[in-house]
Structure 1
Amino acid sequence: MSIRKRLILSNIGMVIIPVFSVLILEIFLGYLLFIVFDGNPQGTEQNLFISLRFIGMLIILIVTNGLLTYFVSKSIIKPIRNLSNASRKISEGDLDFSVASSKKDELGELSNSFEKMRLDLKEAKAAQARYEENRKELIASISHDLKTPLTSIKGYVTGIQDGVANTPKKLERYMETIYNKANDMDGLIDELFLYSKLDLGHAPFKFEEIDLYTFFTDFIDESNFNMETGTAVFSADEDRSYTVKADRDQLKRVITNITQNSLKYMDKKHKQIHVQLTSESDRVVVKIEDNGSGISKDDLPFIFESFYRTDSSRNSSTGGSGLGLSIVRKIIDEHGGTIWADSQPGEGTSINFTLKKVT
């Protein structure tokens, strides 16, 4: 019951209850004084009757008003007190004080809204803690990733200076190694720089109309040419329209990050990537599926978060900054699309995203 109805009923009760109580009191006193004790209605018993009726009326009014006020105020003050305690505890950093209410009045709705806010704050705090932990791991990992090739480069340069590379073939191998290590460092720095620009909203986007059918046909041909042990497959209904408005370079970055991430975690002898397009009324759905090791249910909700890596170990085969899929999500967000993942451990993972269709 709403507070408004409760107050209205309380005010009505303060009138009706005393009236009926006084009537019952008068009947009872009249019966007691004039019938049971055979009093004289015109004598002293009448004055006693009037006095008792007046006193009884005052008592009824006081008790009725007091009880109704107490119960109504209790139903209002108690939830307010709980909300006050909860706000104090939240201000002190305690997010475990629940104020959920089963009541259907305004204070019940307020309590449930406050409870939702508390749960959102608790979830945000947990997400922030995960973010900070992943950020610390990222800093340590990037420091390692930058230091390792840098140390290697210094070693090879020292070898050249000391005359260890004393043949043209060995010198060429040293120089090629130095170049590859420097290229790896450059790629990591570029990824960090791109993430920073996307995070700050400073990354430029040049939107144009792109036919995704043609785009992915070229991409699959290029992928099959570059893949050493595996195949890339493309499927789509040729009769449907797949024209979207997107930034070609940023879209290529999205596909590259997704496929590179898929290839990195593939544990099958024959690697396979399957790209599927689905044309809907106002959007195109892109599905990129692999036959890799899959992602656990615990990790799946967080793979698009910044600095998150499902592989806690850091090695040459599965290393990475943990920014690849986070960059993908930011780019898709800038395009006004949505992105999500489905996975079965041991069978593979599919990354799905949508782009607005040009109609």
Structure 2
Amino acid sequence: MSIRKRLLLSNLAMIVLPIAALILMEIFLGLIMFRILNLDPGSSLERFTQIRFIGIIIILIVTNGLLTYYVSKTIIKPVRQLSEATKRIANGELNFEIEADRSDELGELAESFEAMRRKLQEAEELQKKYEAGRKELIASISHDLKTPITSIKGYVEGIRDGVADTPEKQERYIDTIYKKANEMDHLIDELFHYSKLDVNRVPFHFEKVDLYAYFEDYLEEIRLHTDVKVELWPKEKQTFFVKADWEQLNRVVTNIIHNSLKNMDKDEKILQVEIKEVNDHIKAVIGDNGKGIPRGDLPHIFEQFYRADPARSASAGGSGLGLAIVKKIVEEHGGQIKAKSDQGKGTKVAFTLEKWEEGN
């Protein structure tokens, strides 16, 4: 019941209840005085009037007092609870619940307060998560930059101290320095790109892209320059138009396929790509017959700086940011990305992109 209805009924009750109580009092008083006590009506009329007047005053005080107490209690109590909740929120305390067990305006206000409290709590938890991620990011950057820098310093000192005393050694040292510098450049580039994605500073230029034709060209390059057997499904040429930023799409596919090629350990290396429609999205599934990903690592592969095999990734120049960047780009396209893997058999990474609708 709304507060307005409650107040109207309360005011109505302040009129009806005293009248009803007065009628009952007169009947009850008349029975006692004139029937039970057998008093003379003529001589007792003045006393009857006095008692009735006193009764009216008592009835008005009691009924008005009780109704006022009831109405004020139903309003003041929830207001006091909301006031207390406001103070707790202002003091930074968010781990409590505001009960909204009413169906009136104060109940709606309590629900709004509870929704606000939950959002503030979620924001606080998200802030803590971001802060922890920032610290982890700084620690990971420091570690990943320190390793090649230490290596470069060592080789430079070797050249300066005359350890590389032959042209062949000097060339090997310089090649190693160049390789480590490239690793640092790649890491900084991916870190810069990831940071821009994280704060929505990467401009996306969406256009109509035929995903099937894109993969045809991409896989043809792999077929020409590697010994990997590539397959594209469906085998018959079809058109799958998606809404995508071509440059960012290329980064996604390159990252996924590069990971697949690095982890292929079979004599016959196979890379398969399947494209299909799923409701209002186009789904691309990239699979390989590589060594696979351990089950415990699979849920974390899209996290920043996560490496299923740190030693192998570090030696291969992996930054640990590639798949995190892929996930952010796919989500910016309005899609999702998932991975399935059987250790020793291979891995499949599937992502979706929105279909191109004419008029976009």
With the shorter chain as reference, the TM-score category is 0.7 to 0.9
Q: Distance in 1 between matches of 2:99 and 2:235?
A: 50
**Matched residue SS, 1:104:** coil
Determine the C-alpha separation between the residues in 2 that align with 1:226 and 1:131.
Answer: 42
Q: TM-score w.r.t. structure 1 length?
A: 0.81
1:13 is aligned to 2:17: no
Is the Cα contact below 8 Å between 1:275 and 1:289 reproduced in 2? yes
How high is the sequence identity, in percent, across the aligned residues?
49
Give the alignment of 1:87-166 within 5 angstroms: 87-166=86-165
Structure 1 stretches of 5 or more lacking a match? Answer: none
* Partner residue in 1 for 2:36: 36
> 1:284 is matched by which residue type in structure 2?
I
Q: How does 1:203-218 map to 2 (within 5 A)?
A: 203-218=202-217
After TM superposition, the structure 1 = structure 2 runs for residues 333-348 of structure 1, keeping only pairs within 5 Å, are 333-335=331-333, 337-341=334-338
Which stretch of the first structure deviates more once superposed, 76-85 or 326-335? Answer: 326-335
Partner Cα distance (2:83, 2:225) in 1: 64
Distance 1:223 1:280 in 2: 27
TM-aligned CA distance change 1:177 to 1:292, over 3 Å: same
Q: 1:56 to 1:132 in 2, by over 3 A?
A: same
| Corresponding residue of 1:71 | 70
1:86–1:259: structure 2 CA closer, same or farther, 3 Å change rule? farther
Instruction: Name the SS for the 1:42 alignment partner.
Output: helix
Q: What's the offset of the Cα at 1:308?
A: 6.6
Structure 2 counterpart of 1:8, one-letter code: L
CA RMSD of aligned residues (A): 3.5
Question: Scaled by the length of structure 2, what TM-score is found?
Answer: 0.81
Once the 2 structures are TM-superposed, how far is the Cα of residue 65 of structure 1 from its aligned partner? Answer: 1.7
* Alpha carbons of structure 1 residues 276 and 165: separation in structure 2 relative to 1, 3 Å: same
Aligned twin of 2:246: 248
CA contact (8 A) 2:282 2:355 kept: yes
Separation (CA, whole Å) in 1 of partners of 2:71 and 2:258: 65
Residue 122 of structure 1: how far off its partner (Å): 1.8
Aligned in 2, Cα 1:98/1:199: closer, same or farther, shift over 3 Å? same
Compared CA separation, residues 32 and 320, structure 1 to 2 (3 A): farther
Moved more, 324-333 or 52-61: 324-333
Deviation, 1:99, is: 0.8
SS in 1 for 2:41: coil
Q: Contact 1:2–1:104 at 8 Å: present in 2 too?
A: yes
Structure 1 counterpart of 2:276, one-letter code: T
Supply the distance in 1 between the matched residues of 2:2 and 2:185 (Cα, whole angstroms). 64
Q: CA separation of 1:69/1:269 partners in 2, compared to 1, >3 Å: closer, same or farther? A: farther
Question: Using the alignment, how far apart are the partners of 1:288 and 1:109 within structure 2?
Answer: 50
State the match for 1:293 in structure 2: 294
Could you list the runs of 5+ residues in structure 2 that have no partner in the other structure?
none
2:276 equivalent to 1:278: yes
**1:189 match:** 188
Aligned residue in 1 for 2:313: 317
The amino acid that maps onto 2:243 is K
- Which letter does structure 2 place at the counterpart of 1:292? I
Per the alignment, residue 27 of structure 1 pairs with 27
Question: Does the 8 Å CA contact 1:188/1:321 hold for their aligned counterparts?
Answer: yes
Query: Following the alignment from structure 2 to structure 1, what is the Cα–Cα distance between the partners of residues 259 and 42?
Result: 105
CA contact (8 A) 1:279 1:285 kept: yes
Letter in 2 for 1:88: K
Which whole-Å deviations, capped at 9, do the CAs of 1:3-60 have from their partners, x for residues lacking one?
Answer: 23322322222222222111111110111111111223333x2122222222222222
Flag the 1:24–1:135 CA change in 2: closer, same or farther, 3 A. same
Instruction: After TM superposition, give the deviation of residue 2 of structure 1 in Å.
Output: 2.7
Cα deviations by residue, 1:79-129 (Å, 9 ceiling, x for unpaired): 221111111111111111211323222222322232232222222222221
